[in-house]
Amino acid sequence: METELKETIQNLLLQFMQNMHEWEVMCNDIAKQNELSFEEQFNKQKELVSKIFLNYCTSRERKNSRPTTISYGNEGSYEYDINEEEITDIVEEGKDRIVVHTYREVPMQEKKQYIFLFKKGKWLLDSKKRYSSWKQKWLSVSL
């Protein structure tokens, strides 16, 4: 794989993760806004995450995942944290598919895969998987 392409994919993932981290922080702030109803909080959180997905992710239905549903971490256990999750490998699995492998120790040891597809003239994040050592296989998880 060309160094330039590898850097492009790495930067895309890091930008996505940073945006998602900032979104998680904002979600916690929105949840503290007692003047907003639950529905108003949900709609505000969904609007923000939808913009991130529009920029970085493939356009497809995600019934049980963001941005359709809302879930986020708290201080000390954010799902997205570029200071905790390290890119360990980037593998080209075809001309239109690249898999980024990551590892994270805190809050628990996890191996993940982020799958990028080349669609509409650009690289977009399509899905994420987590390795289950108990099941000895990769499992799809919410982006």
pLDDT digit string (tens) for 33-84? 999 999 999 999 999 999 999 999 998 887 777 767 788 888 778 889 999 9
Cα–Cα dist 142/39, whole Å? 22
Residue 107 preceded by cis peptide, ω within 30: yes
What is the domain range of residue 125?
3-141
SS3 content of the chain, % helix, strand, coil (to 5): 35, 30, 35
Across the chain, mean pLDDT equals 92
What pLDDT is attached to residue 54? 95
CA dist 1 → 50, 99, 102, 129 (Å): 31, 12, 18, 22
- 135 band by pLDDT with thresholds 50, 70 and 90: very high
| Count of domains forming the chain | 1
The dihedral over CA atoms of 31, 106, 58, 48, expressed in degrees to the nearest 10, equals 20
Least confident of 68-72, 87-91, 92-96, 103-107: 68-72
